[in-house]
Structure 1
Amino acid sequence: MIRLPDENGVLRVHEPRAEPAGPVLLPPSGAPPASRTVFAAAHVVADPLADPNSGVPALDWDATLAFRRHLWSHGLCVAEAMDTAQRGMGLDWTAAAELTRRSAAEARAVGGRVACGAGTDQLPTGEVDLEAVRRAYEEQLEVVEKAGAQAIVMASRALAATARGPDDYLNVYGELLRQAAEPVILHWLGPMFDPALEGYWGSTELDAATGTFLRIIEEHPAKVDGVKVSLLDARREAELRRRLPEGVRCYTGDDFNYPELIAGDGEFHSDALLGVFDPLAPLAAGAVRLLDAGDRDGFEAALAPTVPLARHLFEAPTRFYKTGVVFLAWLAGHQDHFVMAGGMQSARSLPHLARAYELADGLGLFPDPELAETRMRRLLDLHGVAR
């Protein structure tokens, strides 16, 4: 029995599980799912002994790469150097470039698939021009391609601040896609994940923004493998994927509605590129394998119970979801500490983290429930919560 605080400071009793869930107990298969392409956006493990005032993010490379091997062992693809890895919130471009190179080399060594984010976050804060944005994108695209990884063209804060309308997006993205050696994934990240991206694609009106987004794809269909849509709007994603050119995938980034979007409507479905599949990897892989076998009901029954945890982790302010992701990785034994780059471990409250533990434990998500309970108790002690 463990006593956990709620948002009102009231302690409630939780009885931890004795055993993990079946998919967590089973040895990972390694083979990727056949019916859907599934990326987990992976977090990074910070070096807890690094000086937080140095201005240089330091990572525990062994633990960071070990977690990627964990994801690949379940047959998932890895989306690298994305916002889940604290891009723009503790991880700078220098560290992201090194992460890209190391993860791509690790993927080749184990036969895993990796796609890496290319953005513009090496630019200084403040006003820049469109030419600087384009050059920054080109620099990062070159690093990703030289590493041997697929590129995910991330939304750019600098472009959002600089562009004066849809034509600027059409020009910057068009030039970048013409230069891309292989088809890329385009990422539409909504302002709930990053407020600086308000009005992306040249309009705050989503229908107009969607039109610009689709025009970019339609003008360069051979250079777009797919789109990752992170708007937390299942209806809009379903409409968008019906309008994509043939052969262009829709990778859902909707961490609220992923079961229904991945399952599809009988005619169209979404593949996945999700931050929530970082902590859910074994359960997510097991669920998608049920789809491989044609068992949609089994897929929905397996994945639906994970949604309350996902919605909790991604509740507003949504951009802080990665704190819960790293917290669960610590409880699950994937890392030895709960320290994040930029001190982001303090971005969520103790009651929020306690509820995340309770929900994850209820799912049987921890390979060693006793370890998870011990670490949760340690955190409660640190915060002075009476037992």
Structure 2
Amino acid sequence: MPALLLPHPDGTVRPWAPTAPDTTAAGPAPAATAARSGVRTAYAAVHVVADPLADADPADVVSVDWDATLAFREHIWSCGLGVAEAMDTAQRGMGLDWTTTRELIRRTGELARPTAAPWCAGVGTDHLPPGPASLDQVVSGWLHQLDVVVEAGAVPVVMASRALAAAAASPQDYRDAYGALLSRSPVPVLLHWLGEPFDPALAGYWGHRDLGTAAAELAALCAEHADKVVGVKVSVLDADVEIAFRRALPGGVSCYTGDDFNYPALIEGDEQGHSEALLGIFGAIAPVAGAALGALAAGDPAGYRRLMDPTVALSREVFRAPTRLYKVGVVFLAYLAGHQEHFRMVGGLESARSVVHLSELLRLADTAGALPDPDLAVARMRPILAAAGIR
């Protein structure tokens, strides 16, 4: 008997059962963790777990299950990856307010400190009041959050700012704003280029709609401030643009791929270099990604690709258009894997994707070896299907 009847994009409902491929043959990530192996730096952007029993409207009040949220960070570290905290995966700009974000950063810092666990955290401007902001206000907003992240002990990741995208009239405005921030930052930072597919409000960031021209603008900024920029996370879903960009970066400034469509080849690299990793999909495939990076660190690129390549179809489904809704898939997969006891999200965002999409994720997660307990995943999928009338 099939484990489940699953709906398909063509409108049919067909039987399915998990195959549970073995993805553990490569063994665990290096003891020093993949994020510190000296081969690749790898961060998983992590989500927040909503409190499903809070007596409040999720559209109006942010209620976080702190125990489950912090336990998921421990899981990421145990897989040999670094934690990328308070990024867009944590629903920055899509439900998570700055007050809660600040507490999230503080708590993760306390969790990381005893073992010096590797982590970075997002520095944004989402606490600014609604309405137009000046360039000076954008810079001041970044600096305010930068202080919080530095105090917590994380590597700061300066996130692309919706306020700056709205205020900037030219590429020079971007150079001026980032130049002012970097000149005043007490520590070197990572910059984050989040492309339009992830956030339509960031269209034309760096003052250019053409991605290649925008990449050249950003590379020039990095060259001008190379002493304050340790790397750039590139999330534009265009591998050719990313490769050209990383080759244009000055020495000492690394490229971190945020390309959830093409990451295996970008991380492996070529004769001219490679991308480090800061990826939302790594939160959903952490054990597989950790083992794959362990294989790469051990000099086994074939083993790395054997493990990593099957995860791409899953990632492309998680991040399919509209890409900004990828958070639903990340949380759904954490629920199927047993990292939280419910499929609820900040702001009620769990309703933003279809049951057909969720069924595709279940199938593809099984193929990718990303279901640690297939029986549990099947049991948790049943009520979701029943709510859609599939029994």
Q: Same fold (TM over 0.5)?
A: yes
Do structure 1's residue 97 and structure 2's residue 99 form an aligned pair?
no
Partner of 1:301: 306
Aligned to 2:24: 23
Matched residues, number: 385
Question: 2: distance between equivalents of 1:356 and 1:271?
Answer: 26
Given that 1:24 and 1:283 are in contact with CA atoms closer than 8 Å, whether structure 2 keeps it comes out as no
The residue number in structure 2 matching 1:13 is 15
Q: How does 1:64-213 map to 2 (within 5 A)?
A: 64-213=69-218
* Candidates 318, 327, 343, aligned match of 1:322: 327
CA distance in 2, matches of 1:340, 1:54: 10
| CA distance 1:25–1:261, change in 2 (3 Å) | closer
Say whether residues 1:347 and 2:349 are aligned partners.
Answer: no
Name whichever of 123-132 and 248-257 sits farther off: 123-132
Shift of the alpha carbon at 1:363?
2.3
Query: Is 1:215 equivalent to 2:220 in the alignment?
Result: yes
Equivalent residue letter for 1:303: M
- The corresponding residue for 1:45 is 49
Question: What secondary structure is seen at the aligned counterpart in 2 of 1:254?
Answer: coil
Gaps of 5+ in 1: none
Equivalent-residue separation in structure 2 for 1:363 and 1:172 (angstroms): 42
Change (3 A) 1:68 1:12: same
Residue 131 of structure 2 aligns to a residue whose secondary structure is coil
Moved more, 84-93 or 295-304: 295-304
Higher deviation after alignment, 248-257 or 105-114: 105-114
Shift of 1:60: 0.5
Please give the TM-score of this superposition, normalised by the length of structure 2.
0.95
Q: CA deviation at 1:124?
A: 2.2
CA offsets 1:106-147 (integer angstroms, 9 cap, x no match): 111343111000010011222121121111111011111111
Query: Is the 8 Å Cα contact of residues 29 and 74 (structure 1) preserved in structure 2?
Result: no
Matched, 1:245 2:246: no
Give the partner amino acid of 1:31: A
Looking at structure 1, the residues matched to 152 and 340 of structure 2 have their Cα atoms a distance apart, in angstroms, of 26
d(CA) in 1 for partners of 2:274, 2:225 = 22
Q: How much does 1:28 deviate?
A: 6.7
Q: Percent identity?
A: 54
Equivalent residues of 2:28, 2:294 under 8 A apart: no
Matching of residues 276-287 of structure 1 within 5 Å: 276-287=281-292
Q: Which amino acid aligns with 2:48?
A: V
Q: 1:29 to 1:70 in 2, by over 3 A?
A: farther
Distance 1:258 1:139 in 2: 32
User: Deviation of residue 168 (structure 1)?
Assistant: 1.0
Superposed CA deviations along residues 167-216 of structure 1, whole A, max 9, x for unmatched, are 11111111111122221110000000000000100111223322221122
Q: Distance in 2 between matches of 1:107 and 1:181?
A: 21
Cα separation, 1, equivalents of 2:277 and 2:204: 24
After the TM superposition, which parts of structure 1 deviate over 4 Å for at least 4 consecutive aligned residues? 24-30
Distance apart, 1:46 and its partner CA: 0.6
Supply the distance in 1 between the matched residues of 2:31 and 2:70 (Cα, whole angstroms). Answer: 16
Query: d(CA) in 2 for partners of 1:77 and 1:360?
Result: 22
Q: Is the 8 A contact 2:44 2:281 kept in 1?
A: yes
Q: Secondary structure at the match of 1:321?
A: helix
Task: Give distance in 2, aligned partners of 1:28 and 1:271.
Answer: 16
Shift of 1:30: 5.1
Comparing 294-303 with 269-278, greater Cα deviation is found at 294-303
Report the AA paired with residue 366 of structure 2.
Answer: D
Deviations 1:29-51 (A, max 9, x none): 65312210000000110111221
Shift of 1:68: 0.3
Once residues 20 and 77 of structure 1 are traced to their aligned partners in structure 2, the CA distance between those partners, rounded to angstroms, is: 25
Q: Deviations over 1:314-361 (max 9, x none)?
A: 110000011001000000000000000011101110000011011112
Q: Note closer, same or farther for the CA distance 1:202–1:27 as it changes in structure 2 (3 Å cut).
A: closer
Q: Work out the CA distance in 2 between the residues paired with 1:344 and 1:30.
A: 37
Q: Cα gap change, 1:25/1:338 in structure 2, threshold over 3 Å: closer, same or farther?
A: farther
Query: 226-235 vs 116-125, which deviates more?
Result: 116-125
Residues in 2 aligned to 1:25 and 1:262: alpha-carbon distance in whole angstroms: 18
Check the 8 A contact 2:216/2:245 in 1, yes or no: no
RMSD in angstroms over aligned alpha carbons? 1.6
Residue among 275, 299, 323 paired with 1:270 = 275
